[in-house]
């Protein structure tokens, strides 16, 4: 059995895809730091900072709250305000420095649109933009 040699173009495509994946992971891990908040002096990180989803998906947003030295801060109120749909959380106060919420798009329309969620910690607000696209089946 003889295996065909991969073309130079397919090898370059593979390398490019791996680099894009590595950049995406690095961006997800090193979320931008916002703050300090007033009056608590907390810093806020939100991941992802933006996303694209099918209207039937339920993506998760994670908020990390930390002190000036980067240590997680507990029992800090985090508010989620979606432009449409809902955000479901287990708690609205940080535990282990984090709060996660699951976004559900509004029902009734499968047309492309952009929604947003405002994440608020004291006086710091971070906006996460969400591109909602129709689900495509059978392709």
Q: What is the mean pLDDT of residues 71-76?
A: 97
Cross-strand partners of 51 = 130
Domain map (residue ranges) of the chain: 34-133
First-last CA distance in the chain: 33
DSSP state, 139? -
pLDDT band, very low/low/confident/very high, at 8 (cuts 50, 70, 90): low
pLDDT band, very low/low/confident/very high, at 19 (cuts 50, 70, 90): low
Give the C-alpha separation, 116 to 10, whole Å: 37
Q: What is the mean pLDDT of residues 20-33?
A: 61
In the prediction, which pLDDT does 107 show?
Answer: 86
Does residue 94 have a pLDDT over 50? yes
Spatial CA neighbour of 79 closest among 99, 59, 60: 99
What is the CATH superfamily name and number for domain 34-133? Immunoglobulins (2.60.40.10)
Tens digit of each residue's pLDDT (9 = 90 or more) over 108-131? 777 899 999 999 999 999 999 999
**3-class state of residue 11 by DSSP:** helix
Spatial CA neighbour of 53 closest among 8, 118, 115: 115
């Amino acid at each position: 059995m003889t295996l065909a040699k991969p073309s130079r173009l397919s090898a370059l495509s593979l390398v490019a895809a791996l680099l894009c994946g590595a950049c995406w992971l690095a961006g997800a891990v090193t979320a931008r730091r916002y703050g300090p908040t007033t009056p608590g002096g907390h810093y806020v990180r939100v991941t992802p900072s933006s996303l694209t989803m099918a209207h039937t998906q339920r993506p998760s947003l994670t908020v990390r709250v930390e002190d000036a030295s980067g240590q997680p801060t507990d029992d800090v109120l985090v508010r989620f305000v979606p432009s449409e749909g809902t955000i479901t959380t287990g708690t609205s106060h940080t535990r282990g420095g984090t709060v996660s919420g699951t976004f559900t798009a509004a029902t009734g329309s499968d047309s492309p649109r952009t929604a947003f969620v405002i994440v608020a910690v004291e006086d710091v607000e971070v906006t996460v933009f969400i591109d909602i696209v129709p689900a495509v089946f059978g392709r």
